[in-house]
Structure 1
Amino acid sequence: MRRLPPFPTLRAFLDWTAAQGQLRAIPDPVSVRHQMTAVHRAVLERAGPVLRFDHPVLEGGTRAQAPVVVNIFGTAERVAAGLGVTPEGVDDLGAFLAALRAPSPPDGLRDALSRWPMLKAALATRPKLTKNAPVQQRVVETVDLAALPIQTHWPGDAGPLITWPVVLTRPQDSKAEEVSRYNAGVYRAQVIGRDRIILRWLAHRGGAAHFRSWQKAGAAMPVAIVLGADPATLLSAALPLPETVSELGFAGVFSGARPRLVPAKTVPLMVPADAEMVIEGWVDPTETAPEGPFGDHTGYYNAPEPFPVMTVSALTTREAPLYLSTYTGRPPDEPSIIGEVFNRLALPLIRAQIPEIRDLWLPPAACSYRIAVIAIDKRYPGQARRVMMALWGMLAQFSYTKMIIVVDDDIDPRNWDDIAWALATRMDPGRDVMTLERTPMDYLDFASPEAGLAGKIGLDATTKIGTETTREWGRVMQSTPEDAAFAADLLARRGIVT
């Protein structure tokens, strides 16, 4: 499936972006407090290159030793590259991953041989263990996190925030070598001292589930925060994978190579051998601290809430490490661009569960998941409502989708003009609106009457058939294919439209 060279490290990916003319170094002094975010956002909004700040200025005014890299996933093309494909290959990769997760039995020897790429991808998920690693070239056990160029992104933020951490955890009843039971998640990590970090994991996330198992045993939980991982590991940690699938292993499917892991120095965990940095430490089963406020993907600051505290036991790095960072805010931001690609990647899996879905769009401007537009192949009355309920119940992530608009497959679900026309001509508010009350919702949705509980609305903007209407339905106007082809040929020959 892979169409690009392998990117076993962040540096390999940066070399590729440089060769594509998509990396720019900034030698000017730029403060990690607010300035870096402002520069990053201005470049991202113009679909600009990866940035490497070679002179990051720390909060105290001194120069940081590690350059800061941002905007690696600032375009859909670079997200696709991180998955090992070109933008045109995302749909095929999605179909491949859907088949990998739910394979059908082979139909004879020829079919079995044709599935060799799938078998190779499955084998690539098995991590390779090593004793020596670039990420452990330097080991610091008396850690001062203020020496790292950790950004304070927005004027109302509570303090420095680590924004691209891959947080590794395992359940209390597991062993360090049982990597298949690890969870790798991208969680907010607020620095509150020279060796203390608040980890914000929501209750439904894998890290929180692991923490509860250690709490129940009354024991501190080992944690490793990976900074500057390879693109496949970063994107796997961001994917909404099933709880039974290890993100560290799944990264091998994207990278095309077995992930290299090494034992951490001070905690019983395995960590990526080729990352830029790893922060090791322990999370106390009872200690919490107020996390936030921070600017969030909604475009608002979230309210402070208590979350667990990690005490750092070591920092391991390469000899001359890079610090990878990003910001979170009202779209566009890197998470929303990643979400657009993941939308395409997940479509084959969604269609496997709900076959009548032809296309699905999660508008990035709607915080990437709050609104969904679905195009279906409509065949019977009530089908649009069935699809709405099926999608809300399919994955935990869709339980946070507060509005679903269902359209026919002659409507482009990514075109607001098409959507508006369907709503105006195929939807009656008194008949075609379905509402639900007191359903799960992201507690960052300030429009919700209660934190964590909110209503949902479904709009059926499909053509009404059978018992859905008592009126004769209108016929859509359009040119015949022959007339449309004639017009296109004429205008092209005359140079009027190319």
Structure 2
Amino acid sequence: MRHLPSFPDLRDFIAFLEARVSDPVLLRHEMTAVQLAALRAGGSALRFDAHDGPSMPVVTNLFGTRERVAAGLGLTLDQIPAFGDFLASLRSRQSPEGMRDALSRWPMLRAALAARPKLLRHGPVQEQVMPGLDALPVQTPWPEDAGPLITWPVVVTRPHDSKDGELARYYLGVYCAQVLGPDRLIRRWLAHRGGAAHHRTWQRAGEAMPVAIALRADPALLLGAALPLPEAVSELGFSGVLRGQRTDLVQARSVPLLVPARAEIVIEGWSHPDETAPEGPFGDHTGCYNAVEYFPVMRVSAITSRRDPLYLTTVRGRPPDKPSVIGEVFNTLALPVIRIQIPEVQDLWLPAAACSYRMAVVRIDKRFPGQARRVMMALWGMLPQFSNTKMIVVVDDDLDIRNWDDIAWALATRMDPARDVMVLDRTPIDYLDFASPLEGLAGKIGVDATTKIGSETSREWGREMRLDPAHAARAEALLARIAA
């Protein structure tokens, strides 16, 4: 079902998209301004050939539009819903019903084969060795940032009781990394994410954890690592499904890990059990600076790269920014998976203005009393990422959930604050949410703005006023003739 070509590495994708900036630009703050201006104007991906850092081209704004996020998957934007259905079908474990059904599932079988990574003896990412982190043109995005920040790293980890060949147990996550010096950096990872869980297993064993950071991987690996996948789904395997080709891996030079062979740069190193350092403050996707906190230090043991590598960067800020654009596409991809587990959900919207995940508006096919609350609780427990969604509004299937006027009307006419608001206290929340009274713990609110049925109300419900569609069509025709 792919329409556009597959992009096995970043260079193929950039050649498909890029526009070059030849004027010199400062890595501190000025490059941020150019990126945001381009993103908010819906501009193309940018390649900076002249800047005040080490001599290496800087690429940014790859996923600045929904169309380019889709292109990274080899699809046009209108193919994203069908691709979401296809990904959801891969999760189904139903047996085929006869030979015809088995043959109809051939695309799924081919996708499963593409999900199996391929081990290479040599990879392009190991063509040369770099001296240290100071050889990278790392941005300092915002004026009060603590220092240079690597913003698009794909961090590769595995638990202590695993071997480097057990790829199903690997975890890939996108964690920003503060550069402390030529051989040290800090990774900021959240306690509920896979990388932090792996780190705890090495801490309990009292051993240093091997870590690899792939910089500038292909778009399928970048997007696969950023997707909110269930814990049992391998990001390495899933990226093969997205790409339509197997993921090429190679043995790291100095740590017992397999790393993406077609990345531009790989940073290898070790995190010792009790070595931490203060990270931040840094500007974040909330539009505010985060607090200074302690996170694990990574001691760099090797940096390998392609010849003439490219450095990919991005910037985060109050939406619209890159995460919010990617989030819009991921919203569409995730909907079929959500509907498998919560069938009454017809549509779900994570407004970009609410930081792409802190608020959800859900449209349901309501059939019984209490159903809206059931949906709220199911969503909060479905994926770890939904634990950071602090407000859910549920509406009926006659409304457009992407229309704020429809949402406001439902809240004003179908919701009673004393009856239809569910408030939870001391639940897990994004530690970056400075509005929460306790770090990592906060309240959640669910609002039932659906029509009340059965035991939900003791009075007659209001009947909505609607004109005969024929009269409405006649009115439009008359007005069109007058305007002409």
Q: TM-score, normalising length from structure 2?
A: 0.97
Structure 2 contact 6–73 (Cα < 8 Å) conserved: no
For 1:315, what is the secondary structure of its paired residue? strand
Q: Name whichever of 471-480 and 202-211 sits farther off.
A: 471-480
User: Is residue 55 from structure 1 mapped to residue 45 from structure 2 by the alignment?
Assistant: no
User: Is residue 376 from structure 1 mapped to residue 376 from structure 2 by the alignment?
Assistant: no
User: Is residue 112 from structure 1 mapped to residue 107 from structure 2 by the alignment?
Assistant: no
Name the CA shift for 1:485/1:92 in 2 (closer, same or farther; >3 Å). Answer: farther
The residue type paired with residue 283 of structure 2 is: G
The residue type paired with residue 42 of structure 2 is: A
The equivalences for 1:125-136 within 5 A come to 125-136=115-126
Q: Distance in 2 between matches of 1:123 and 1:483?
A: 56
Q: Name whichever of 302-311 and 470-479 sits farther off.
A: 470-479
Q: Distance in 1 between matches of 2:476 and 2:354?
A: 36
1:133-172 C-alpha deviation (Å, 9 max, x unpaired): 11111123xx331221100000110000000000011111
Q: CA deviation at 1:324?
A: 0.4
User: Is residue 95 from structure 1 mapped to residue 90 from structure 2 by the alignment?
Assistant: no
Q: Distance in 1 between matches of 2:382 and 2:251?
A: 37
For 1:436, what is the secondary structure of its paired residue? strand
The equivalences for 1:284-363 within 5 A come to 284-363=272-351
Name the CA shift for 1:188/1:379 in 2 (closer, same or farther; >3 Å). Answer: same
Residue number among 25, 29, 34 corresponding to 1:39 in the alignment: 34
Q: Distance in 2 between matches of 1:12 and 1:101?
A: 30
Q: CA deviation at 1:470?
A: 2.4
1:472-496 C-alpha deviation (Å, 9 max, x unpaired): 222222333444555566777x595
Matched with 2:13 is 13
Q: CA RMSD in A?
A: 1.6
Q: Distance in 2 between matches of 1:432 and 1:364?
A: 25
The residue type paired with residue 186 of structure 2 is: I
For 1:475, what is the secondary structure of its paired residue? coil
Matched with 1:193 is 181
Matched with 1:29 is 24
1:89-144 C-alpha deviation (Å, 9 max, x unpaired): 1111111111101232212211111110001001101111111211111123xx33
Q: Name whichever of 433-442 and 153-162 sits farther off.
A: 433-442
Q: Name whichever of 328-337 and 226-235 sits farther off.
A: 328-337
Name the CA shift for 1:139/1:427 in 2 (closer, same or farther; >3 Å). Answer: same
The residue type paired with residue 14 of structure 2 is: L
The residue type paired with residue 337 of structure 1 is: V
The equivalences for 1:152-171 within 5 A come to 152-171=140-159
Matched with 1:61 is none
1:413-445 C-alpha deviation (Å, 9 max, x unpaired): 111011011111111112211111111111111
Q: CA deviation at 1:357?
A: 0.8
Name the CA shift for 1:345/1:489 in 2 (closer, same or farther; >3 Å). Answer: farther
User: Is residue 417 from structure 1 mapped to residue 412 from structure 2 by the alignment?
Assistant: no
Q: Distance in 2 between matches of 1:283 and 1:90?
A: 38
The residue type paired with residue 165 of structure 1 is: P
Q: Name whichever of 480-489 and 158-167 sits farther off.
A: 480-489
Q: CA deviation at 1:264?
A: 1.1
Q: Distance in 1 between matches of 2:305 and 2:471?
A: 65
Matched with 1:85 is 75
Q: CA deviation at 1:401?
A: 1.1
Structure 2 contact 152–312 (Cα < 8 Å) conserved: yes
Q: Distance in 2 between matches of 1:430 and 1:372?
A: 21
Q: Distance in 2 between matches of 1:373 and 1:103?
A: 30
Name the CA shift for 1:471/1:205 in 2 (closer, same or farther; >3 Å). Answer: same
User: Is residue 452 from structure 1 mapped to residue 440 from structure 2 by the alignment?
Assistant: yes
Matched with 2:462 is 474
Q: Distance in 1 between matches of 2:253 and 2:132?
A: 17
Residue number among 116, 139, 146 corresponding to 1:151 in the alignment: 139
The residue type paired with residue 43 of structure 2 is: G
Structure 2 contact 132–303 (Cα < 8 Å) conserved: no
Q: Distance in 2 between matches of 1:378 and 1:244?
A: 31
Q: Distance in 1 between matches of 2:467 and 2:304?
A: 65
Q: Gaps spanning 5+ residues in structure 2: where?
A: none
Residue number among 211, 233, 237 corresponding to 2:225 in the alignment: 237
Q: Distance in 1 between matches of 2:170 and 2:457?
A: 52
Name the CA shift for 1:433/1:107 in 2 (closer, same or farther; >3 Å). Answer: same
Q: TM-score, normalising length from structure 1?
A: 0.94
Q: Distance in 2 between matches of 1:189 and 1:471?
A: 57
Q: Name whichever of 415-424 and 97-106 sits farther off.
A: 97-106
For 2:11, what is the secondary structure of its paired residue? helix
Structure 2 contact 237–247 (Cα < 8 Å) conserved: yes
The equivalences for 1:428-447 within 5 A come to 428-447=416-435
Matched with 2:235 is 247
Q: Distance in 2 between matches of 1:495 and 1:305?
A: 65
Q: CA deviation at 1:314?
A: 1.2
Q: Distance in 2 between matches of 1:390 and 1:278?
A: 39
The residue type paired with residue 126 of structure 2 is: Q
The residue type paired with residue 37 of structure 2 is: A
Matched with 1:20 is none
Matched with 1:391 is 379
For 2:50, what is the secondary structure of its paired residue? strand
Name the CA shift for 1:121/1:487 in 2 (closer, same or farther; >3 Å). Answer: farther
Q: Distance in 2 between matches of 1:144 and 1:491?
A: 70
The residue type paired with residue 415 of structure 1 is: N
Structure 2 contact 212–266 (Cα < 8 Å) conserved: yes
Q: Distance in 2 between matches of 1:481 and 1:257?
A: 50
Q: Gaps spanning 5+ residues in structure 1: where?
A: 18-22, 59-63
The residue type paired with residue 346 of structure 1 is: A
Q: Distance in 2 between matches of 1:109 and 1:391?
A: 37
The residue type paired with residue 68 of structure 2 is: R
1:253-307 C-alpha deviation (Å, 9 max, x unpaired): 0100011111111111111111111111111111110011111111111111111
Share of identical aligned residues, percent?
A: 69
Q: Distance in 1 between matches of 2:14 and 2:482?
A: 42
Residue number among 127, 133, 137 corresponding to 1:137 in the alignment: 127
